[in-house]
Amino acid sequence: MSLGLRAAPALAFVLALAGLWAYLLWTTPTVDAGRHGRALDLVRVLKQLDAARDADLLRVRLDLLRDYDPLVQPLPRMDAILAELAELALDDGSGALGAAVAAAHAAFTAKADMVDRFQRHDSLLKNSLRYAPAAYSDIQQHAEAAALPALQARLGALMGATLAFVGAPETANGLRVQAAAQEVRGLVRAQPPLAQRAAIDNLLTHVDVIVLRQSAEAVLLAGLEQAGTGARLDEATAAFTRRFEEQVSRQARSQASLLALSGVAVAAVAAALGWLVWRGATELRRMRQLVERTRADLRESQAQLIHAEKMTLLGEVVAGIVHEINTPLGYLRSGLESAGDNLGAVLQPARERGDGRELEALEETRGLVRDGLAGVDQIHATIVNLLNFSRIDRSKVVRCRVENSLETTLRLASHILKGKVLVRRYGQTREIQCDLPQLNQVFLNLVKNAAQSAPDKGGQVTIATAMAAPDLVRVDITDNGPGILPEDRPRIFDPFFTTRGTGNGLGLSISQRIVREHRGWIEVRSQPGAGATFSVLLATAQLATGKEPHAAA
Amino acid sequence: MKPFPPFSPVRLLARMACLVAWTGACALMAAHAQPPEPLKPLPPAPQLDARKVDLGRRLFRDPRLARDDSVACISCHSFQHGGADPRARSIGAGGALGTVNSPSIFNVAHNFRQLWNGGTRTLEDQIDAVLANPRVFDSSWPQALGKLRADTALVSAFAQAYPQGLDRASARDALATYERSLLTPSRFDRYLRGDGLAISMEEKKGYDLFKRYGCVACHQGINVGGNMLQKFGALGDYFQAREAAGHKIGEADRGLYNVTKRPEDLHVFKVPSLRNVALTAPYFHDASAATLEEAVDVMFRVQLGRPAPGADKALIVKFLRTLSGEAPLAP
Amino acid sequence: MLPPEPRRPSLLFIDDEPRVLNAIRAVFKSGYDVALATSGFDALALLHKQEFDVIVSDQRMPGMTGVEFFRRAKRIAPNTVRILLSGFADMDALMAAVNEVEIHRFVSKPWDNAGLRAVVAEAVEVARALRPGADHPTLPEEPRIVPAEIKEGLVVVDAGRQLHERVEAEFGGRYHVIHCETLVESLALLHRRPCAVLVCRLDVCDHDDMVFLMQLKQHHPDMMVITVCEATDAARLVALINRVGIFRFLREPGSFQLLTSYLHGAFERARKRRAVS
């Protein structure tokens, strides 16, 4: 009886504790890390699809791509991903998350619609741009038009204005085209009936199409640039991650309460609770690691994707850049030369006249012209180097000696190597087969690393080549810097690993990928305090490839 | 010189030039030296579940999808006529006259939308649309499934291929899977894949003209069309001329407008695929052109807005005939 | 026919950048009649009115590219010598420039004035030789059945035999088709027996071919050279144009039909040249 009385509060306490404990355990949310990872994966894929479509849009604009399949092929995949994201958000039940996904969905729908309309305008615009010049030259070659110089001139002005508008689709230029078209119309009306009337009307129709569609396309492209799909996706990612972190921290809070509860609980349940806590903690750690890892993955794959896209586009537009620079260089160089010749011609009479001041001014001008020519040649040499480095105008896989690639790289890296001693120890190496721009990039990365590691005073970079085996070429790039810390050694090829504040930490990882694709490898030797050597090993080219007989058919 | 108009290309070029010249950290990948070909060969047939394809084949020929068991999918998608309907207007359940000429069922997997007005995005949605359409099957899923469930052989075949057995989702999926298998590789695909002798010199000339006259502005990609929408009569009013010739312009002639109700979408249609075009007469949504030659004429007039010598058009027609593929096996 | 009046050589330059034209005018105004145009359209109009010895055009221009312009110009004035002057050589433009419009030289920007003057002077010589008025005899009929000893020669240089066999099958009846494994071998052969046309398969990676081809062209300037190569870069093609003066360039895998038509063209051109000289 008394035992029962004494035991009752304890029992009640235990029961209350157990009840509270059970409640806390029950309310502790279960965090589904798999689902979170899935959502992030989906967003990442969607982002890649979107980025690829943007690049393709630009390619279509630049006429590097002549079919619209790449613009529409990702649509089903995008729709499916957005639907799955909406489902995930719905399962989660968070309003903010649902809104973020819905916003992304709306942005994608709007963008798809704009792309749709872009295709409509773009196809008509390209048709008219292709036809208008031909229509013009047909009219021009017709005897009747040739007999009307006024009409010839107006038509010429119309074409000129149209070209200017295509180059710079601004309202003012558009108005100029319309004015020119009006003049042609007026002139045709003032003439006795022309046999070419229909052809001219047709040309005017196409000019109208160009003005209308070009303007519409400009508006659409501006809209596409601000479609904000990327931003909406980033927001969705953030919403998913926020939600996940919220759940993880709620789980952590509940577990902390459980811990406190177990602290005042009876010793008998301590062991059980202890086990539970231990399990909770490892789980939490695992979750945190998972978050960290998914984030790192996301960051890396996005960075590499953007890098690759950028590089491809860059290759495509470099042709344009080179032409754009070489054209002014052309007239600059030729003009300077002619100016120099002209000066030479007036210099002789000036000497004979013996006017000291005039002579001095002419001599000085001649010197300046000569400097100008040297400058032009220097710019041209840089362009040639750039082209050699990129070799966009060359075939992809070539046979060459590594020394050639190294020299191209060193010329381009001269500003990085400024103030350092460069030692070349080239051996007798055989040719290798490689994708030259890629290999150039590897060497540039390694030379850059070496130059940045070498001390500012007395820094030295040594580049040595040799045959490591009868069919293996070795390139050693050595610096006399502080070397690599033993604890850093295993991580130097990891993406985003960098010991310097600057740089994206991708150089070595990309280099290693490229060398592996060439079926070679990179070796590292380093003593702390005594510099580091990066060795690239590459197989030599097989002899007599491509000599097998095959016909031209 | 400004070769690349909008999209602020100058800024882009300048930024990229700086990137290369001054950081030097970028590798320039080799540009594609080949000029991009606007037409692409048909990719190899995808791996599909043979059981699902077979179920789809059966449903495709099954008149129980129609309210009065009078028509099946194949009634209007004739395999002898390039998967399209040789009649100007198709006839649906209860003898109802359709509003447009049925387009080809072949290679639909590579169309970005279905139906003439681009009204549905997926094959599955298209199946829903025609099932409910009063001028086609005039039925509903409960009604059609009710009739199909009485067929024990069909029900057990469905149970083997789909965990859930025969239902709306599995019936739709079977039909769509079958449609995805209906691909028609042609001589021209062999040419695109490098077999220079697959088409004749004249046909090659025709292809060159097809590109030069700008037909490829819209008819490009794997399906030689089917990947965009365009206004019918972009450079010449097709519908006005048609009305003037005494034809009535109806609701079906409004195209995408019926879906979006946006004024700019009036008379906008899906650019049809030109694969098998020589077999799919009559042409256009309203079947207004009886022959391929007529259709090419109309296209030159209202889409390209330019004259062309008859000889050139004849060569283009010759090229178009190379797009006829082998019809998939009928039952 | 009146004897041609002695007149200054006439040049036509086309570039969409007027400053380039200014610079060029300064170089050529003495010694030449220079006409300038800022677009292909204007230039075509000029061509209708006037004859030119040499046309020099830029490649990348809005509205009409250089090659496209040359294509039309060739129809109007087939005897004019064409030179492409451009800031960047892309493969496709170069291929079209050789095979379709037969440009005489490719000059890249920036150019040096003396070099450009030399190229243009040489082109004027070529144009003068082409000009009708020197009373060319009519072309001889294409030989149908000819005795073996006077058949025209066609050399096929290829490490394998397959190409030779196909050419032999197609042309063996009309021409004497000879196979050589290397260019060096063909040099020795041509020394003994001059041939009208040479087809040469080039190795993708081997750049020594160029030296031999240049020697070949030095010894046999009238021989038509057609090169066949799997892939090549623009710089190499420019060298083939400027230093070897190839007649056609074929990218493998190309069609045999195309090669056949190039070969017919080459023989026809060889006959024409013989008739002129």
Q: Which residues contact B97 (CB under 8 A, 6 or more apart)?
A: B89, B90, B91, B135
Nearest CA in chain A to C230: A552
Of C153 and B9, more confident: C153
Q: What per-residue confidence (pLDDT) applies to B23?
A: 33
Do B222 and A69 count as a contact with CB atoms less than 8 A apart?
yes
The pLDDT tens digits for B18-64 are 444 333 333 333 333 345 789 999 998 889 999 999 999 999 999 99
Residue A298 has pLDDT above 60, yes or no: yes
For B133-137, which contacts have Cβ atoms below 8 Å and span 24 or more sequence positions?
B133/B92, B134/B92, B134/B96, B135/B92, B135/B96, B135/B97, B135/B98, B135/B99, B136/B71, B136/B76, B136/B90, B136/B92, B136/B93, B136/B96, B136/B98, B137/B65, B137/B66, B137/B67, B137/B71, B137/B92, B137/B93
pLDDT at A304: 62
Rounded Cα distance between B147 and A51, Å, is 48
Q: Is the separation of the CB atoms in B22 and A412 below 8 Å?
A: no
pLDDT for residue A2 = 53
Strands (E), A441-481: 460-469, 472-479
State the sign of the Cα–Cα–Cα–Cα dihedral B46, B50, B55, B57: positive
> Looking at the complex, does the CB of residue A399 fall below 8 Å from at least one CB of chain C?
yes
| Residues of chain A contacting B229 with CB distance shorter than 8 Å | 116, 119-120
Which of A:163-182 have CB within 8 Å of B? 166-169
Question: How far from A351 is each of A344, A356, A358, A365, CA to CA, in Å?
Answer: 11, 8, 9, 15
Alpha-carbon distance A427 to nearest alpha carbon in chain B (angstroms): 26
Which residue is it, tokens 């001329």?
Answer: B241
Q: Taking CB atoms and an 8 Å limit, are B230 and A124 in contact across chains?
A: yes
pLDDT tens for each residue of A317-345: 666 778 788 888 999 999 999 998 888 88
Range in A538-547, B101-110, C154-163 with the lowest mean pLDDT: A538-547
Q: Do C60 and B1 touch (CB under 8 A)?
A: yes
User: At residue B79, does pLDDT exceed 50?
Assistant: yes
A66: left (phi over 0), alpha (psi -120 to 50) or beta: alpha
Model pLDDT, residue A503: 60
Q: pLDDT of B218-276, one tens digit each?
A: 999 999 999 999 999 988 889 998 999 888 898 899 999 999 998 889 999 999 999 99
Q: Are A132 and A181 in contact (CB under 8 A)?
A: no
Lowest mean pLDDT among A138-147, A527-536, C51-60, C185-194: A138-147
In chain A, what is the greatest distance between 2 CA atoms, to the nearest angstrom? 141
pTM of the model: 0.55
Percent of chain A's residues with pLDDT above 70: 86
pLDDT over 50 at A179, yes or no: yes
* Greatest distance between any 2 Cα atoms in chain B: 75
Mean pLDDT in residue range A245-272: 74
| pLDDT at position B125 over 50 | yes
Q: What is the dihedral of CA A263, A269, A270, A274, to 10 degrees?
A: -110
Distance, CA of A298 to CA of A302 (rounded, Å):
6
Q: Do C254 and B196 touch (CB under 8 A)?
A: yes
Counting one residue from chain B and one from chain C, the pairs whose CB atoms sit within 8 A come to: 22
Lowest mean pLDDT among A489-503, A537-551, B246-260, C131-145: C131-145
On chain C, the residues whose CB falls within 8 A of the CB of B200 are none
Tell me the mean pLDDT in the region C24-38.
91
The tokens describing B168, both together, are 């709306």
Chain B positions in Cβ-Cβ contact with residue C256 (cut-off 8 Å): 196
Higher pLDDT, C2 or B270: B270
Select the more confidently predicted residue: A127 or C131.
A127
Query: With contact defined as beta carbons under 8 Å apart, do B311 and A208 qualify?
Result: no
Q: Note whether B113 and B308 are within 8 A (CB).
A: no
Q: Is A385 on the interface with C (CB under 8 A)?
A: no
Which residue type, as a one-letter code, is found at position C184? V
Q: What is the pLDDT of residue A292?
A: 82
CA-nearest residue to B198 within chain C is C255
Cross-chain CB nearest to B196 (options C60, C62, C255): C255
Instruction: Annotate C185-224 with b (16+ C-beta within 10 A) or e (fewer).
Output: ebbebbeeeebbbbbbbbbbbebebbebbeebbeebeebb
Q: Which of the two residues, A357 and A266, has the higher pLDDT score?
A: A357
Question: Residue C143, preceding bond cis, omega within 30 degrees?
Answer: no
Nearest to A383 by CA among A437, A323, A338, A342: A323
Return the pLDDT at C166.
Answer: 87
Given a contact cutoff of 8 angstroms between Cβ atoms, the answer to whether C167 and C132 are in contact is no
Give the up-direction half-sphere exposure of residue A327: CA atoms within 13 A in the CB hemisphere.
Answer: 21
Res. B146 pLDDT band, cuts 50 70 90: very high
Token pair of A382 as six digits:
């840089």
Query: What distance in Å separates the CA atoms of residue B186 and residue A201, rounded to the nearest whole number?
Result: 40
Distance CA A505, CA A494 (A): 8
What residues pair up with C251 in beta bridges, in sequence order? C229
When the pLDDT of each residue in chain B is averaged and rounded to a whole number, the result is 86
How far is residue C261's CA from residue C246's CA, in Å, rounded to a whole number? Answer: 16
Touching partners of A (3+ C-beta pairs < 8 Å): B, C
Q: Which residue of A has its CA nearest to C162?
A: A551
Predicted pLDDT at A70: 92
Cα separations (Å) of A92 from A30, A32, A95, A239, A251? Answer: 12, 10, 9, 11, 16
pLDDT, residue A313, reads 60
- Closest-CA residue of chain A to B124: A76
Count of helix runs (H) and strand runs (E) in chain A: 15, 7
Q: Which of A65-74, A319-328, C58-67, C139-148 has the lowest mean pLDDT?
A: C139-148
Rounded mean pLDDT, C54-72: 89
Tell me what pLDDT residue A155 has.
86
Please choose, from the candidates C50, C56, C69, the residue with its C-alpha nearest in 3D space to the C-alpha of residue C8.
C50
- Which pLDDT value is given to residue B55? 95
Give the pLDDT mean for A162-179.
84
CB B59 within 8 A of CB B171: yes
The yes-or-no verdict on residue A125 having pLDDT over 50 is yes
Give the pair of three-digit tokens for residue A287.
């979750």
> Measuring CA to CA, how many Å separate B29 from each of A315, A389, A394, C116?
5, 10, 11, 33
Take residue A525 and report the two structure tokens written for it.
Answer: 């030797």
CA atoms within 13 A on the CB side of A147: 7
Residue in the block written with tokens 């690239």? A536
Give residue-wise pLDDT tens across range B147-156. Answer: 999 999 999 9
Instruction: Write down the pLDDT at residue A40.
Output: 85
CB of A310 within 8 Å of a chain B CB? The answer is yes
> pLDDT category, B13, cuts 50, 70, 90?
very low
Calculate the alpha carbon distances from C250 to A529, C231, C267, C271 in Å.
58, 10, 17, 22
Q: How confident is the model at residue A309 (pLDDT cuts 50, 70, 90)?
A: low
User: HSE (CB half, 13 Å, CA atoms) of A347?
Assistant: 14
- pLDDT value at A443 more than 50: yes
CA distances from A220 to A104, A246, C189 (A): 19, 40, 65
- Among A26-35, A112-121, A350-359, A507-516, name the most confident range: A112-121
> What are the helix and strand counts (H, E) for chain B?
13, 2
Q: What residues does C35 pair with on adjacent strands?
A: C12
> Which helix (H) or strand (E) element contains residue A526?
strand A521-526
Which residue is associated with the tokens 């031999």?
Answer: C212
Residue B70 DSSP code: -
Contact present, B275 and B92 (Cβ < 8 Å): no
Torsion angles phi and psi, residue C61, rounded to 5:
-140, 145
Paired tokens of A266 = 């009876």
The pLDDT > 90 percentage for chain B reads: 69
Q: For the complex shown, is ipTM > 0.90?
A: no
pLDDT at C144: 42
| Nearest partner of C229 among A392, B193, A552, A543, judged by Cα | A552
The proportion of chain A whose per-residue pLDDT surpasses 90, expressed as a percent, equals 15
C84-107 residue pLDDT tens: 998 877 778 888 898 888 999 999
**Residue A477 has what pLDDT?**
94
How far apart are the CA of B271 and the nearest CA of chain A, in angstroms? Answer: 10
Q: Are B262 and B326 in contact (CB under 8 A)?
A: no
pLDDT band at B203 (very low <50, low <70, confident <90, very high): very high
Is 60 exceeded by the pLDDT of residue A308?
Answer: no
Euclidean distance between CA atoms A499 and A488, whole angstroms: 9
> How does the average pLDDT of chain A come out, rounded?
81
Residues from chain C that touch A140, judged by Cβ atoms under 8 A, are: 41, 44-45
Compute the average pLDDT of residues A499-514: 72
CA distances from A265 to A9, A18, A19, A261 (A): 14, 9, 12, 6
Phi, psi of C186 (to 5 degrees): -70, -30
Comparing A465 with A279, the larger pLDDT belongs to A465
